[in-house]
């Protein structure tokens, strides 16, 4: 039973390094002072037990971190791009939808994982000073951010269990209040496995599970009842649907209560709301008046409804939301952590798992795209090319020297380049001389 949604996340681009020189009175040899660009923002996923559905992603499916700012003179570094975090419920798996690989599986409250890392900021020209190059005219372009299409899969744990005898109208109720579409017909055991539905109620959401009809002996396995009862153990509250048109609704109710007690007595301690169903059938309203006092002794509230006729459902959902809110607060109090989830401290390399792609081959690669045209595939060379001013002869000479140091020139020679051919580095097309 899985709820899933697809989203797009983009980390921020790194800022460009600056080419700048110190120009100051009484400092005749100021030298280079270009600062580095800021790193791009990261994308994080955080697990929060106060969130129990993926409903919020229906309204926001794109998450983009901030870009880093460029460096400037006086060795000023650019501002780092802002991080972005999306919150998911426990039990959610994060998948790279394009690669089909699982990135993370978050199960613990407060768990935080780095999903996409921002681009690295480019280095300014002050970082390339050497004994043979006192004033570098080169700086690096910031790395681009990464974009991923993610698939979030939640192995749903239901907040509310819908129980009752066969043909009481449980599936009809779930159909009426959610987008779930269980098979519904006028015979017992239409539902052969639990069916989940997500209910949106006043900007909140919760999960209901339709438990197949329980019969006498269910606790011992009759009608697969023991398997169905196990699903109830993980719910917070119960909605007990009673067939108001049956021969003895009260007896039906207590028979199901006995099955719960015989299977696990703690199930009878769960908050319970009774939904006296089929109010649209003549005579059921009179039966409700006769039965409600006897039923009210064990339930938090008793409501008369018609799932088929959409009668009394708003009042029922109000009671469910109130009981669920109380149950959540009590569960948090038992753990000694009442209130909203605390935000995890700012991430450091030591406390947040970092997911990085496999290290790339740093050696330059050459691709021949035409008999006289070659493309250089090398990230370091491309970063310099993004910022170099080839109209400046000094910058052009330094750029060629960087290509030689990085092994690009040797790789082009091995590829068979000849004078007059064109080689492409980043956005620049150069002629081999």
Calculate mean pLDDT across residues 155-173.
82
Residue 302, SS3 per DSSP: strand
- Looking at residue 343, what is its pLDDT? 36
Strand extents, DSSP E, 371-427: 373-377, 422-425
Domain boundaries, the chain: 2-155, 160-334, 365-431
- Looking at residue 276, what is its pLDDT? 94
> How far is the CA of 286 from the CAs of 103, 170, 176, 290, 363, in angstroms?
57, 21, 24, 7, 84
For residues 157 and 53, is the Cβ–Cβ distance under 8 A? no
Top-confidence residue, 366 or 343: 366
3-state secondary structure 44-90: EEEECCCCCCCHHHHCCCEEECCCCCCCECCCECCCCCCCEEEEECC
Beta bridge partners of 32: 21
- Looking at residue 348, what is its pLDDT? 40
Would you give the end-to-end CA distance of the chain in angstroms? 65
Calculate mean pLDDT across residues 62-86.
92
Top-confidence residue, 194 or 183: 194
pLDDT digit string (tens) for 90-118?
878 899 988 888 888 887 888 899 999 99
**pLDDT confidence band for 164 (50 / 70 / 90):** confident
Q: How big is the CA angle at 28 (ends 26 and 31), to the nearest 5 degrees?
A: 120
- Looking at residue 181, what is its pLDDT? 61
Q: Tell me the pLDDT of the chain averaged across its residues.
A: 82
- Looking at residue 266, what is its pLDDT? 84
Buried-state track 295-322, b at ≥16 Cβ within 10 A, e below 16: beeebbbbbbbbbbeebbbeebbebbbe
Q: Which CATH number fits domain 365-431: 3.40.50.2300, 3.40.50.1370, 3.30.300.350, 3.40.50.80?
A: 3.30.300.350
**pLDDT confidence band for 141 (50 / 70 / 90):** confident
pLDDT > 90: percent of the chain: 26
- Looking at residue 352, what is its pLDDT? 56
Q: Which CATH number fits domain 160-334: 3.40.640.10, 3.40.50.10140, 3.40.190.10, 3.40.50.300?
A: 3.40.50.300
- Looking at residue 182, what is its pLDDT? 57
pLDDT digit string (tens) for 246-276?
889 999 899 888 888 888 888 888 999 999 9
Beta bridge partners of 24: 27
Residue 139, SS3 per DSSP: coil
**pLDDT confidence band for 87 (50 / 70 / 90):** very high
Please give the helix or strand (H or E) that residue 243 lies within, else none: strand 237-243
Residue 207, SS3 per DSSP: strand
Please give the helix or strand (H or E) that residue 258 lies within, else none: helix 249-263
Considering the domain 2-155 in this protein, what is its CATH number?
2.70.210.12
**pLDDT confidence band for 156 (50 / 70 / 90):** low
Res. 1: pLDDT tops 70? no
- Looking at residue 13, what is its pLDDT? 93
**pLDDT confidence band for 304 (50 / 70 / 90):** very high
Model pTM score: 0.58
Res. 44: pLDDT tops 60? yes
Of the candidates 76, 81, 78, which has an alpha carbon nearest to the alpha carbon of residue 66?
81
- Looking at residue 149, what is its pLDDT? 94
**pLDDT confidence band for 226 (50 / 70 / 90):** very low
Sequence-separated (6 or more) residues with CB below 8 Å from residue 205: 52, 53, 55, 56, 198, 199
Top-confidence residue, 174 or 194: 174
Please give the helix or strand (H or E) that residue 177 lies within, else none: helix 170-177
> How far is the CA of 38 from the CAs of 17, 42, 349, 400, in angstroms?
8, 12, 18, 26
Top-confidence residue, 41 or 361: 41
> How far is the CA of 422 from the CAs of 87, 368, 369, in angstroms?
50, 10, 10
Token code pair at residue 388:
């170099």
Calculate mean pLDDT across residues 402-413.
89
Sequence-separated (6 or more) residues with CB below 8 Å from residue 299: 240, 272, 273, 274
């Amino acid at each position: 039973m899985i709820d899933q949604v697809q989203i797009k996340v983009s980390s921020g681009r790194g800022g460009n390094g600056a080419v700048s020189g110190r120009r100051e009175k009484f400092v005749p040899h100021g030298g280079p002072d270009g600062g580095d660009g800021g790193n791009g923002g990261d994308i994080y996923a955080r697990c929060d037990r106060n969130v129990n559905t993926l409903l919020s992603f229906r309204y926001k499916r794109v998450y983009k971190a901030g870009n880093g700012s460029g460096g400037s003179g006086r060795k000023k570094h650019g501002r780092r791009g802002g991080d972005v975090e999306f919150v998911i419920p426990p039990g959610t798996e994060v998948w790279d939808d394009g690669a089909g690989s699982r990135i993370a599986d978050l199960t613990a409250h407060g768990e935080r994982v780095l999903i996409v890392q921002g681009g690295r900021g480019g280095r300014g020209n002050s970082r390339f000073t050497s004994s043979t190059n006192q004033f570098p005219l080169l700086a690096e372009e910031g790395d681009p951010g990464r974009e991923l299409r993610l698939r979030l899969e939640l192995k749903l744990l239901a907040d509310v269990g819908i129980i009752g005898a066969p043909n009481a109208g449980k599936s009809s109720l779930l159909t009426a209040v959610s987008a779930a579409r269980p098979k519904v017909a006028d015979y017992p055991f239409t539902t052969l496995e639990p069916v989940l539905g997500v209910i949106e109620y006043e900007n909140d959401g919760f999960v209901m599970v339709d438990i197949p009809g329980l019969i006498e002996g269910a606790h011992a396995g009759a009608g697969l009842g023991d398997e169905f009862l196990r699903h109830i153990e993980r719910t917070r509250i119960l909605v007990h649907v009673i067939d108001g048109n049956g021969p003895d609704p009260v007896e039906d109710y207590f028979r199901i209560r006995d099955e719960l007690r015989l299977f696990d007595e703690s199930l009878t301690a769960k908050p319970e709301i009774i939904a006296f169903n089929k109010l649209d059938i003549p005579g059921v309203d009179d039966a409700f008046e006769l039965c409600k006092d006897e039923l009210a002794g064990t339930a938090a509230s008793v409501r008369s409804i018609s799932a088929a006729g959409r009668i009394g459902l708003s009042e029922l959902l109000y009671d469910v939301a109130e009981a669920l809110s109380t149950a959540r607060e009590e569960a948090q109090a038992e753990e000694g952590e009442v209130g909203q989830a605390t935000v995890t401290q700012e991430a450091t390399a030591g406390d947040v798992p970092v997911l990085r792609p496999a290290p790339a081959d740093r050696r330059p690669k050459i691709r021949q795209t035409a008999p006289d045209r070659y493309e250089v595939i090398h990230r370091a060379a491309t970063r310099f090319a993004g910022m170099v001013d080839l109209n400046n002869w000094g910058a052009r000479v330094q750029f060629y020297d960087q290509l030689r140091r990085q092994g690009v020139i040797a790789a082009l020679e091995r590829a068979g380049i000849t004078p007059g051919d064109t080689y492409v580095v980043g956005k620049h097309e150069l002629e081999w001389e």
